[in-house]
Amino acid sequence: DLLIALGDTVLEGGDYEPALQGVVARYAEIQQNFDLPESVTSTIEADLRGRIETRTANALQFMDIMKASGEDNNAKLIAAAFNKKGHAAKYVNPGEAGMLLSAEFGNAEVLPESFDRLAALKASPEIVIFPGFFGSTKAGEVATFPRGGSDITGAILAAAVKADVYENFTDVDSVYAMDPRLVPNAPAIERMTYRERRELAYAGFGVFHDEAIIPAVHAEIPICIKNTNRPEAPGTMIVPERKYEQTEVAGISSADGFCAIYIDKYMMNREVGFGRRLLQILEEEDISYEHTPSGIDNMSVILQSAELGADKEAGVLGRITAELEPDNVSVEHGLALLMVVGEGMNYAVGMAAKATQALGDAGVNIEMINQGASEISMMFAVKDIDRKKAVHALGSAFFG
């Protein structure tokens, strides 16, 4: 954030010296904590001033140059600290190592040829300190990933060197079976599959962005979630596959802020292309959807409420009415989604009955239910106000 503020000040033509000194002071604090020579901070200040001088007409490109300096200079500091403590380490520049990115400043993607280039890092006899978040375009320009880009870098490197495991350090000991903010005594998950994590992340469950781990997932590299402040904690292993274990359910996730469009039309099932035309309307209105439960004469579309703001709702309903001629169309706001997920659900009988019984006993009305074709997840829509009660009810049913 300090670097972004510095970059903004430079672009605005203001006095950037106070912001620059604020950044330098932060590095000086780190340098002193590691008992490194003051020349380290001086070198970083010179680097920042050099970046400021590269100001270009492309504001996004300039901001990438400034933002990348954070990870870049931190990596140099860490390499120096390792060496001071007797651990042979070297800083590696991403661009020079072969981290090639698309020229989409602030939202770059890794290019396929990067993986073969980066594979050479595995042969290094020294500890490689590789800054995250950025790389270079084919033209040699600095480009950054979106926020969370350091996780993306880690996954790319793990895939490139065919690592045995990719350890991703966060601020939690492990991934929990339920949100600890809703269920303080939620059990930790020791092992889960990519599919389970993805299904759970769908409803607000996750410690990193889905995009961040795609390279590791494609390469089938196990991912271990660990705590930066408690590295001795075992963490949670995320693996391509796992054997069916005693617990059918791996976790229960929930998120609020959803709404549903309900459409009724007699003989809907005989009308070829009805669902496609409905989804086409949403596509043309730049609206993404989450689920589409349906019946013989009705169809529902679940959306994030932010996708259907007040400025869009009337227009979308108007188009649905005019183009699809339904008997009835309505919107319900204030919904929460709950996902019950587990590879073992595919082999167990009565999982849906167990879940609905638990919700019913807790006095939670189910607005909607949907089960994926993979049969490793069930989705329940409930009122926002019932979300916490519903999570506790399902947790008691499946975890005791």
Condensed to tens digits (0 to 9), the pLDDT of residues 190-243 reads 999 988 988 887 666 666 677 778 899 999 999 999 999 999 998 999 999 887
| Mean pLDDT on 57-73 | 92
Q: What tens digit of pLDDT does each residue of 124-162 get? A: 999 999 999 999 999 999 999 987 788 999 999 999 999
Distance CA 132, CA 138 (A): 18
Q: Establish if 283 belongs to a structural domain.
A: yes
Phi/psi of residue 236, nearest 5 degrees:
-120, 130
Structure tokens that stand for 76 in this block: 């140099």
Same domain, residue pair 269 and 395 = yes
Q: Report whether 194 contacts 210 (CB < 8 A).
A: no
Among 163, 193, 208, residue at a domain's last position? 163
Q: Given a cut of 80, is residue 33 above it in pLDDT?
A: yes
| Domain presence at residue 177 | no
pLDDT value at position 257?
Answer: 93
**233 lies in some domain:** no
Q: Is residue 217 part of a domain?
A: no
pLDDT of residue 201: 79
Q: How many domains does the chain have?
A: 2
Would you say residue 75 lies in a domain?
yes
Q: What is the CATH number of the domain that holds 277?
A: 3.30.2130.10
CB contact at 8 A, 177 and 234: no
Let me know if residue 368 belongs to a domain: yes
**Residue 78: inside a domain, yes or no?**
yes
Q: Let me know: does 208 contact 170? Beta carbons within 8 Å.
A: yes
Q: For residue 257, give its domain range.
A: 251-399
pTM as predicted = 0.83
- The residue out of 144, 163, 182 marking a domain boundary is 163
Boundary residue ending a domain (118, 145, 163): 163
Residues 152 and 281 in one domain: no
- CATH of residue 64's domain is 3.40.1160.10
Q: Give the pLDDT of residue 55.
A: 84
- The two beta strands, 134-136 and 142-144, are antiparallel
Distance CA 132, CA 140 (A): 17
Same domain, 288 and 395: yes
Element (H, E) at 331: strand 328-341
Residue 100 lies in a domain: yes
Q: How many CB atoms lie within 10 A of CB 313?
A: 15
